[in-house]
Amino acid sequence: MLIKDRYKAFVEYFSSHQPEAETELLYENPYQLLVAVILSAQCTDKRINQVTPKLFERYPNPESLSEATPEEVFNYIRSVSYPNNKSKHLVGMAQKLVAEFNSVVPSDIDDLQKMPGVGRKTANVIASVIFNAPAMAVDTHVFRVSNRIGLTRNAKTPLAVEKQLVNYLPKDKIHIAHHWLILHGRYICLARSPKCQSCPLTEICKYYQQSQTETALQKVEKAQLKKANELKKKRLADKTAKALKKLKAI
């Protein structure tokens, strides 16, 4: 299958079955999403959604968060991964947001990355989710699923995956394709035990096709080995029978 055909089938399926896909992080405004995405690094959305309500109640805007200390913020996020670093990043982000952006979350990816705790992935999430920009954030799910399906070729880094996806996806679908890939990886194309039997993309998936080929080859090899063992046993039985026949004739 040509890569363009694979992309076409991918977009057509999800456009029909998940046209409203969106982030599972809970937020009410750009500031809250920025906080949630910073917290979500190497942590589950479920855990972040448990933490943010009290955090947002205490720090409802960039100004209040900018006046906090990392130690104070830590008490609200202690159950997430790397709370020490993230508490520092959140306070630093808020201070930068207030001082340089007038408390308004910028839409520009380069501007977003000027804030502590905001790398390229986080910046792309904000740009795509809040501003519907054609930006592709590549997390572990996007990286894995893209490579498995065959949407990317020899993409060894998140940036390489991002560039290939942006190059082939229709520009108006890039922001939502991010969610398609994440949700597919989160619930079907699991890292250790992908649910291929319930996956709707097997016809275009390189991973599934390769695994089916490998399974078929393994079955053939197993059948050949079984046949060889049976033939070996038969020859041994025939040899034994001839030996016994000679003994009886003596």
**Model confidence at 231, in pLDDT bands (50, 70, 90)?**
confident
Closest residue by Cα to residue 48 from 12, 23, 14: 23
Residue 230, pLDDT > 90, answer no
Structure tokens at 172: 């108006």
Closest residue by Cα to residue 181 from 125, 130, 112: 125
Q: What is the pLDDT of residues 70-121, one digit of tens each?
A: 999 999 999 999 999 999 999 999 999 999 999 999 999 999 999 999 999 9
Radius of gyration of the chain (CA): 27
Indicate which residues carry an active-site annotation.
121, 139
Q: What angle do CA 104, 91, 134 make, to 5 degrees?
A: 45
**Model confidence at 137, in pLDDT bands (50, 70, 90)?**
very high
Structure tokens at 103: 């408390």
Residue 217, pLDDT > 70, answer no
Q: What is the pLDDT of residue 242?
A: 79
User: Which DSSP string do the residues of 121-151 spell out, in sequence order?
Assistant: HHHHHHHHHHH--S-----HHHHHHHHHHTS
Q: How far is residue 125 from each of residues 34, 45, 53, 79, 181, measured CA to CA in Å?
A: 9, 14, 20, 23, 13
Q: What is the pLDDT of residue 239?
A: 80
Whole-angstrom distance, CA of residue 86 vs CA of residue 188? 30
Whole-angstrom distance, CA of residue 172 vs CA of residue 151? 17
Q: What is the pLDDT of residue 221?
A: 60
Closest residue by Cα to residue 179 from 16, 14, 23, 5: 23
Q: What is the pLDDT of residue 145?
A: 97
Closest residue by Cα to residue 105 from 127, 79, 78, 137: 127
Q: What is the pLDDT of residue 218?
A: 57
Residue 244, pLDDT > 80, answer no
Residue range 165-191: mean pLDDT, rounded: 97
Q: What is the pLDDT of residue 237?
A: 77
**Entry pTM:** 0.81
Whole-angstrom distance, CA of residue 125 vs CA of residue 132? 9
